């Protein structure tokens, strides 16, 4: 455990989070059959029956056992659900508990955590409760894109608010971001952040121009129709090797109609392509190839964070010392600022939610789709792994950094410094991208 903990969360807030996160897990998988909970054996997803048990096991291991000193609720739990000890390919063959018993274990862990919070949590219990909720939130998003991968129906969510995003005028063009010194990463201000965000450190940025919005489906369709998938010069060596490995010459879940228009599969429905919505389910190789086709480039993660969190320094062509916690300021996300939390069950037009713009005028830098950056996932200077050492450290140098969050990401865990990371071939996640101008 870390020697010091961030400021503890109020116990009542943690109780709400624990119940909400477990309720979301139950909502996402509740309508699936036993066969669907196992699903086909794929490299990019887990069997959902195993994964929901893993989420509860993680919470029990860290919050109840490590922080609370309690005995395991199941003697076989580590042998079934420890993700670092159990190879991905074997998870379909484990002697998993039945659906009924798995859900009962999920409820038992939840109730035991709530009991600990009722007693007045220690700093360690507060920390690991919040950490385990964020872990479950990440898996809830994975449960959702697993349903998309398998072509299951949209998950039904309880108590979903009405989402009615007003039509906005189209947004286009770049915004200019001044260069100069910039603090990349999270400040040590007492709030809970994950190890790969620690800590803010000086980087030097050249001035750059970044698009106000993410690349749209309409813009990406133009790349596809210009034979972008067939032109070797547009692809890096690894990307071309991936491309020639068998993928169709268009994004996954796209299908051309006899008249030439495009349809996309969204969960179990085929719908016409929406030109004004962000490109989604695109991997790093595809995003990079589009940039070459368009005469653009992906932003570095430092550039992305400067565009999202930075502020102008008065009348000077420089970045201010102060950084925003969210693109729009310090106010927590709401449905009027960012498209998050699974509400709406789909993306919205890239022009939506102008109240969430960054100081420089970039829109939807949090929410709607994750955004690929050009940056390889590496530790920040002085990196020290948190108690859960497997969160970041095993994946350095093998992933690319994504920023911002998607429509299915839970709002409580996001901020401008949050780093997501996936291998550059992954197309199943809710990822898109925005672009930067190439310096003359």
pLDDT tens digits, one per residue of 59-70: 999 999 999 999
Q: Give Cα separations from 221 to 58, 179, 252 (angstroms).
A: 41, 33, 12
Assign 142 to helix, strand or coil. Answer: helix
The architecture that CATH gives domain 164-440 is Alpha-Beta Complex (3.90)
Report d(CA 51, CA 360) in Å as an integer. 40
Report d(CA 103, CA 278) in Å as an integer. 36
Assign 400 to helix, strand or coil. Answer: strand
Q: Give Cα separations from 294 to 94, 173, 219, 224, 321 (angstroms).
A: 47, 13, 10, 12, 33
pLDDT digits (tens, 9 = 90+) for 387-419: 999 999 999 999 999 999 999 999 999 999 999
pLDDT digits (tens, 9 = 90+) for 114-151: 999 999 999 999 999 999 999 999 999 999 999 999 99
State residue 1's pLDDT score. 43
Report d(CA 50, CA 57) in Å as an integer. 10
Is the separation of the CB atoms in 196 and 392 below 8 Å?
yes
Cis preceding linkage at 344, omega within 30: no
What is the sign, positive or negative, of the torsion defined by CA atoms of 405, 238, 143, 89? Answer: negative
Class level of CATH domain 11-150: mainly alpha
What are the residue boundaries of the structural domains of the chain, listed by start?
11-150, 164-440
DSSP designation for 326:
B
φ/ψ of 92, rounded to 5, equals: -75, -15
Answer whether residue 276 shows pLDDT above 90: yes
């Amino acid at each position: 455990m870390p020697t010091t903990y961030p400021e503890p969360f109020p116990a009542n807030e943690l109780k709400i989070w624990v119940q909400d996160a477990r309720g979301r897990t139950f909502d996402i998988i509740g309508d699936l059959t036993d066969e669907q909970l196992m699903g086909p054996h794929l490299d990019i997803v887990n069997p959902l029956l195993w994964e929901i048990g893993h989420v509860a096991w993680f919470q029990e291991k860290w919050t109840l056992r490590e922080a609370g000193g309690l005995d395991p609720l199941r003697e076989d739990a580590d042998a079934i659900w420890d993700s670092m000890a159990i190879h991905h390919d074997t998870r379909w063959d484990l002697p998993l508990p039945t659906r009924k018993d798995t859900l009962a274990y999920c409820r038992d862990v939840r109730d035991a955590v709530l009991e600990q919070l009722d007693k007045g949590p220690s700093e360690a219990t507060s920390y690991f409760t919040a950490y385990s909720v964020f872990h479950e939130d990440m898996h809830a998003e994975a449960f959702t894109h697993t349903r998309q991968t398998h072509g299951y129906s949209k998950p039904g969510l309880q108590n979903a608010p009405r989402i009615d995003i007003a039509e906005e005028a189209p947004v286009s063009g770049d915004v200019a971001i001044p260069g100069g010194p910039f603090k990349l990463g999270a400040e040590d201000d007492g709030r809970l952040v994950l190890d790969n965000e620690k800590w803010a450190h000086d980087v030097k940025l050249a001035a750059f121009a970044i698009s106000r919005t993410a690349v749209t489906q309409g813009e990406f369709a133009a790349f596809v129709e210009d034979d972008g998938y067939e032109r070797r010069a547009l692809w890096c060596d690894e990307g071309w090797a991936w491309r020639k490995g068998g993928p169709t010459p268009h994004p996954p879940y796209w299908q051309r109609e006899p008249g030439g228009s495009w349809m996309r599969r969204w969960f179990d429905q085929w719908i016409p392509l929406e030109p004004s919505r962000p490109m989604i389910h695109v991997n790093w190789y595809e995003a990079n190839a589009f940039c070459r086709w368009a005469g653009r480039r992906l932003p570095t993660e430092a550039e992305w964070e400067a565009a999202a969190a930075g502020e102008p320094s008065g009348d000077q062509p420089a970045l201010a010392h102060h950084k925003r916690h969210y693109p729009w300021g310090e106010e927590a996300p709401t449905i009027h600022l960012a498209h998050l939390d699974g509400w709406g069950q789909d993306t919205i037009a890239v022009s939506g939610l102008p109240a969430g713009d960054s100081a420089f005028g970039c829109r939807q830098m949090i929410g709607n789709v994750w955004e690929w950056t050009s940056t390889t996932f590496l530790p920040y200077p002085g990196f020290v792994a948190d108690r859960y050492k497997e969160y970041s450290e095993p994946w350095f140098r093998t992933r690319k950094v994504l920023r911002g969050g998607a429509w299915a990401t839970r709002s409580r865990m996001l901020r401008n410094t949050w780093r997501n990371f996936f291998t550059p071939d992954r197309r199943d996640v809710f990822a898109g991208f925005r672009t930067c101008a190439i310096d003359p």
